Structure 1
Amino acid sequence: MTSARRPVLYVGGGVLKAGATEGLRRLAELTGIPVVTTLMALGAFPDSHRQHLGMPGMHGTVTAVYGLQRADLIVALGARFDDRVTGRLDTFAPDAAVVHADIDPAEIGKNRHADVPIVGDARHVIDELIAAVTTERAAHEPADLADWWNQLDDLRQRYPLGYEEPADGTLSPQYVIERLGKIAGPDAIYVAGVGQHQMWASQFISYEKPYTWLNSGGLGTMGYAVPAAMGAKVGQPDTVVWAVDGDGCFQMTNQELATCALEGIPVKIAVINNGNLGMVRQWQTLFYNERYSNTELGTHKHRIPDFVKLAEALGCVGLRCENAADVDKTIEAAMAINDAPVVIDFVVGKDAMVWPMVAAGTSNDEIMFARGVRPAFDEDEL
């Protein structure tokens, strides 16, 4: 770790399960190595930390994706090299030596050969790495990472996460989620279902503390958000819990709102209602020549169901927001209600997409920053 010139700490959900976040921060700051946190590890390392490059993978930041891709050393901690992170496996991080630490021996070398395999609890592994790095640094000067950081900082400046306002004047889903994160703050617990809203929640809410993000990850469980939020609220009754759900996911488990009302579980639910199965629509737009099939849900045009009336029928408070000017006051109204579950129907545009994107089956080198737009990298970055 002390001799690599382009190292990256690749952090997965195992670090959270091991309660190893304090050790991770010590290791990162001791070494000065860039950190990427997977979808399951959000909050394990503060999003605002200088060394954090963001989330890697299919919808990760350009900097995180290319940081892994150009690394000469990857230290994987509680991560499994899944296909959403690696892209086309045979093109992933071609120049990187891999240190892979995981508590499950079946994960070691399953997808990517581990040059240094370590089977163990992430907390103990990190403590031993800190001791080893400390000893090594006492004997040898560490590698200079200035060039590596200059390159990463340049990418971070050129390709930050962002979004365009919808041309048709509809409400931007990214704006809704961004404002929700700002207003509810880093102490709230956020839960998401599966789809576009899941990715936007991972991108546009800042996770500064561990255990503030709940997600089904690779299980891809539509309908996860409402019951998971219920569990979080029962477990942490004094903490604000927001479920960020889609209109498709929400219809799979919204009947549990009755349980919330009857049992006094005042969760708050933001339904990102674009009238479609948004991620499927995105793929049909990009890869199937806009041949839309079985993605329109009717929650826009016909309001079937009407989420406000549904919430009220199930004993909850129902609110609706359809324009940007009302977003903050609607969220604040929900934040002020602590004795009943609240559902906000955010009626957003149907054509917003999740960017960046590495299309399924392609290399991380082919990441798209926007539709049809790939980052303009210098030759020495390719």
Structure 2
Amino acid sequence: RATGKVGVCIATSGPGATNLITGLATAMMDSSPVVAITGQVTVPAIGSDAFQETDVTGATLPVTKHNYLVTEVEELAYTIKEAFHIARTGRPGPVLIDVPKDVQNAVIEFVYPEEDIHLPGYRPPEGADDDEIEEMLDLLQNAQRPVILAGHGITMSGANAELQELAERAQIPITLTLLGKGAIPEDHPLVVGWMGMHGDAACNHAIQEADLLIALGMRFDDRVTGNIKTYSPNSKKIHIDIDPSELNKNIQVDVPVAGDLRTVLRQVLPKMQDTSHPEWLNRIRDWQEDADERDILKHDTSGKLLTAQVINDLWKYTDGNAITVSDVGQHQMIEAQYYPHQRPSTMLTSGGLGTMGFGFPASIGAKFGKPEEEVWAIVGDGGFQMTLCELATARQENINVNIAIINNGFLGMVRQWQELFYDRRYQSTPMLSPDFCKLAEAYGIPSMRVTDRSQVQESVEFARSIDGPVLIEYVV
């Protein structure tokens, strides 16, 4: 996710392979290129319920882009080359290779497969046809209240500059999906913010009132649309995506285009006339100002340390330039609101699957991938405890990652739903947590506990002074 390159993981047979399933499903939902290699019992033992035998290809079929069971060692090299090709082309995703033990142990004369990959039926789309381009140009030219919906596909296709040119030349406001954050600098005057269920009110107002939606590399998931029957009812819709199966899947659109975003935008931009929409932009600014007045940071909080304050101060004291890797929950949504990102691939999180426990181990991967970057794992007290065993990995490998635990003593988002939708019938949401600082110290990891906003700057300076993993507990 940090580099855009293929990530590789290796697991043993049986429980090792099945323990990959949640990670593979996470990668599948968020279009992360991964090649997973798993062990398997010997070919003659397959089907005999041998020790640690599992039907890995069957179990992972729904959560991978493709998978293989290699039964002949001569097939292994080409299979690996093919797997990398599938993982990183078209809509990226995870590919699994299951390798039986006798295939692993076989000795052969290795010859690298120099031939190109040819997969009948697998042809990722590239550009738009002439009719599609004309339809898009016509809608762009005549729209009075257009809105761009920018998703993760912008960054995956490298279309960041094209997105900015489209918005600036046509003066179209930009709304971002959760994984689209950072696709364009979020302080750009045309960026309205982040859309959807937990997003910015002004974004959602703009989408509902628009007469044209230009959806770029996003999939109209339910957290973005809410009730699809009432979603942006008066707008024409253009949808460009590399994955044809996403077109007209959740929302019916007027111009569906299956293609690489950068390629399609480069076809459109030379033919597009510049336009402006001053009244529409002013109306959106009014919505932004109205929402800004209700911002919790502008009101008295009686001295309590709030998650929004912690995140906003982390943004301030890291100059908004860190890679943040969020776990899943309340803190994830607050991070998306209060830590604006200026660069692509600097806000990493589990979006589609919502995998609690993702944040901390993923931050280790981000630091491996981008060792020169400052990396902060922003995790809740609940999600962190699902994968806190990776403290050993961070310490053993001396990974210079900063772990910010937002400790509110609850499964915050679940409790919020119980409060808002279930008459405050609270059940199973209070969290019993260890002393996180002592836990870190048991692993030989420096730590600090923050209970007051005045300590946040000190905590960032403390984290930056350590060459290795650091744990900061923010009691909110």
Provide, for residues 31-62 of structure 1, a one-character-per-residue CA deviation record: whole Å limited to 9, x for no partner: 11000010010000111010000001001111
Q: Give 3-state SS (helix, strand or coil) of 2:179's partner.
A: helix
Q: Give 3-state SS (helix, strand or coil) of 2:155's partner.
A: helix
Q: Give 3-state SS (helix, strand or coil) of 1:67's partner.
A: helix
Q: Distance in 2 between matches of 1:175 and 1:186?
A: 14
Q: Give 3-state SS (helix, strand or coil) of 1:269's partner.
A: strand
Partner of 2:443: 314
Provide, for residues 60-107 of structure 1, a one-character-per-residue CA deviation record: whole Å limited to 9, x for no partner: 111111111111000100010111111111000000101000000000
Post-superposition shift, 1:162? Answer: 2.1
2:283 to 143, 151, 160: 151
- Map 1:254-269 onto structure 2 (within 5 A): 254-269=388-403
Q: Give 3-state SS (helix, strand or coil) of 2:266's partner.
A: helix
Q: Distance in 1 between matches of 2:280 and 2:337?
A: 24
Give the root-mean-square deviation of aligned CA atoms: 1.3
Q: Give 3-state SS (helix, strand or coil) of 1:289's partner.
A: coil
AA in 2 matched with 1:346: Y
1:229 to 342, 363, 369: 363
Q: Is the 8 A contact 1:184 1:335 kept in 2?
A: no
Post-superposition shift, 1:168? Answer: 5.8
Q: Distance in 2 between matches of 1:106 and 1:86?
A: 18
Greater CA drift, 286-295 or 274-283: 286-295
Partner of 1:31: 170
Alignment of 1:285 onto 2:419 = yes
AA in 2 matched with 1:254: L
Post-superposition shift, 1:249? Answer: 0.6
- Map 1:204-353 onto structure 2 (within 5 A): 204-299=338-433, 305-337=434-466, 339-348=467-476
- Map 1:133-148 onto structure 2 (within 5 A): 133=272, 136-137=273-274, 142=275, 144-148=276-280
Post-superposition shift, 1:256? Answer: 0.5
Partner of 1:361: none
Q: Distance in 2 between matches of 1:264 and 1:201?
A: 26
Return 5+ residue gaps in structure 1 as ranges: 300-304, 349-382
Q: Give 3-state SS (helix, strand or coil) of 1:90's partner.
A: helix
Return 5+ residue gaps in structure 2 as ranges: 1-139
Q: Give 3-state SS (helix, strand or coil) of 2:345's partner.
A: coil
Post-superposition shift, 1:166? Answer: 7.4
Count of residue correspondences = 335
Partner of 1:302: none
Partner of 1:54: 193
Q: Distance in 2 between matches of 1:65 and 1:335?
A: 37
Post-superposition shift, 1:328? Answer: 1.4
- Map 1:34-45 onto structure 2 (within 5 A): 34-45=173-184
Partner of 1:372: none
Q: Distance in 1 between matches of 2:402 and 2:389?
A: 15
Post-superposition shift, 1:112? Answer: 0.8
Post-superposition shift, 1:261? Answer: 0.8
Q: Give 3-state SS (helix, strand or coil) of 1:76's partner.
A: strand
Q: Give 3-state SS (helix, strand or coil) of 1:40's partner.
A: coil
Post-superposition shift, 1:167? Answer: 4.9
AA in 2 matched with 1:75: I
Alignment of 1:113 onto 2:252 = yes
Q: Give 3-state SS (helix, strand or coil) of 1:79's partner.
A: coil
Provide, for residues 339-369 of structure 1, a one-character-per-residue CA deviation record: whole Å limited to 9, x for no partner: 1200111000xxxxxxxxxxxxxxxxxxxxx
Q: Distance in 1 between matches of 2:173 and 2:263?
A: 21
Greater CA drift, 166-175 or 4-13: 166-175
Partner of 2:19: none
Provide, for residues 5-53 of structure 1, a one-character-per-residue CA deviation record: whole Å limited to 9, x for no partner: 0000111111111111111111111111000010010000111010000
AA in 2 matched with 1:280: V
AA in 1 matched with 2:208: Q
Q: Give 3-state SS (helix, strand or coil) of 1:253's partner.
A: coil
AA in 2 matched with 1:247: D
- Map 1:178-197 onto structure 2 (within 5 A): 178-197=312-331
Identical aligned pairs, as a percentage? 45
- Map 1:73-88 onto structure 2 (within 5 A): 73-88=212-227
Q: Give 3-state SS (helix, strand or coil) of 1:346's partner.
A: strand
Q: Is the 8 A contact 1:186 1:209 kept in 2?
A: no
Which structure has the larger Rg?
A: 2
Provide, for residues 235-264 of structure 1, a one-character-per-residue CA deviation record: whole Å limited to 9, x for no partner: 111110001100001001111011111112
Relative contact order, higher structure (CA 8 A, sep 6+): 1
Post-superposition shift, 1:206? Answer: 1.5
Provide, for residues 248-306 of structure 1, a one-character-per-residue CA deviation record: whole Å limited to 9, x for no partner: 0100111101111111211001000000000001111111111110000123xxxxx11
Which segments of structure 1 move beyond 4 Å, counting only runs of 4 or more? 164-168
Q: Give 3-state SS (helix, strand or coil) of 1:130's partner.
A: helix
TM-score normalised by the chain length of structure 2: 0.69
Q: Distance in 2 between matches of 1:33 and 1:54?
A: 13
